[in-house]
C-alpha cells in the first residue's frame, strides 16, 4: 500500500512529515476539528502548502489514523486469545476506551459518523467484527446477557466518547457500572 507513485522532492517530503507530525499531535490533543491554519502553523509551513499535500481534512485523517487504529487490532487479538470469555470481553472494553481516552482525535473518529477514508472504515469494520465475536463468546458462556448486540456496543462507544471528553477522570467508573449491568441474570 506504499504508493510510491512519484518520488517527492526533498523539501516536499520534509514538509509532508512536518505536517503529519503537527496534525498527529493536534488531532490527538484537540480533536479532529482543529483549524487547518493551526496545523500549518505548528508545522511551520504555509496554509497553501498544507492544502497542496492534503487537499482535505479527510486526507490528513486518512494518512494518520490507520496506524493509530492498528492499536485496536492489538487489543482485539489480546482479547481473542483470552480463555475466559467474560474477562476477555470486559478487558476488551476497558482497553478500547483507554485508547480512546488517550487520543481526542481517535475519540472523535469512534464517536461521530466516521470519515470516509477506506482504511479507517475498514479498521472500524474489523473492530466491529472482533467485538461481535467477543460478544458471542461471552453470551455462549452464559456470562453476558443474551440479548446484547453490537448496536448496544456502538451506543456505548458514543456514550463513552462523551464521558471521556467531559469527565476524563470518571470513565472507568462509569464503564464498570455499565458492565455490571451486562452480566447475565
61 or 75: whose CB is closer to DNA? 61
49 binds, among DNA, a copy of itself, none (CB under 5 to 8 A by kind): DNA
Shortest gap between Cβ of 173 and DNA (angstroms)? Answer: 33
Does residue 42 bind DNA (CB under 7 A)?
A: no
Does residue 155 bind a copy of itself (CB under 8 A)?
A: yes
Does residue 178 bind a copy of itself (CB under 8 A)?
A: yes
Phi-psi label, residue 75: left if phi above 0, alpha if psi -120 to 50, beta otherwise? alpha
- Name residues contacting a copy of itself, limited to 83-142 (CB under 8 A): 111
Does residue 116 bind DNA (CB under 7 A)?
A: no
Cell of 115: 470519515
- Strand-pairing partners, residue 183, are 144
Distance (Å, rounded) from C-alpha 145 to C-alpha 165? 28
User: For residue 140, what is the DSSP state?
Assistant: H
Query: Which residues lie below 8 Å from residue 75, measured CB to CB, with a gap of 6+?
Result: 92, 95, 96, 99
For DNA, which residue of 17, 21, 29, 51 counts as binding (CB under 7 A)? 51
Does residue 11 bind DNA (CB under 7 A)?
A: yes
Please work out, in degrees rounded to the nearest 5, the angle formed at the alpha carbon of residue 61 by the alpha carbons of 71 and 16: 105
Does residue 176 bind DNA (CB under 7 A)?
A: no
Amino acid at each position: 500500500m506504499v504508493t510510491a507513485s512519484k518520488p517527492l522532492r526533498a523539501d516536499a517530503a520534509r514538509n509532508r512529515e512536518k505536517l503529519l507530525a503537527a496534525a498527529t499531535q493536534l488531532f490527538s490533543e484537540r480533536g479532529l476539528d482543529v483549524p487547518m491554519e493551526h496545523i500549518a502553523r505548528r508545522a511551520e509551513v504555509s496554509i497553501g502548502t498544507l492544502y497542496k499535500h492534503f487537499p482535505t481534512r479527510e486526507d490528513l485523517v486518512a494518512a494518520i489514523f490507520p496506524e493509530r487504529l492498528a492499536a485496536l487490532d492489538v487489543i482485539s487479538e489480546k482479547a481473542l486469545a483470552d480463555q475466559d470469555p467474560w474477562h476477555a470481553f470486559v478487558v476488551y472494553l476497558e482497553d478500547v476506551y483507554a485508547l480512546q481516552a488517550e487520543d481526542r482525535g481517535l475519540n472523535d473518529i469512534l464517536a461521530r459518523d466516521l470519515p470516509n477514508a477506506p482504511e479507517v472504515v475498514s479498521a472500524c469494520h474489523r473492530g466491529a467484527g472482533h467485538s461481535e465475536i467477543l460478544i458471542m463468546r461471552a453470551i455462549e458462556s452464559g456470562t453476558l446477557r443474551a440479548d446484547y448486540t453490537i448496536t448496544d456496543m456502538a451506543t456505548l462507544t458514543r456514550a463513552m466518547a462523551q464521558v471521556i471528553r467531559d469527565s476524563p477522570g470518571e470513565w472507568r467508573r462509569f464503564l464498570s457500572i455499565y458492565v455490571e449491568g451486562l452480566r447475565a441474570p
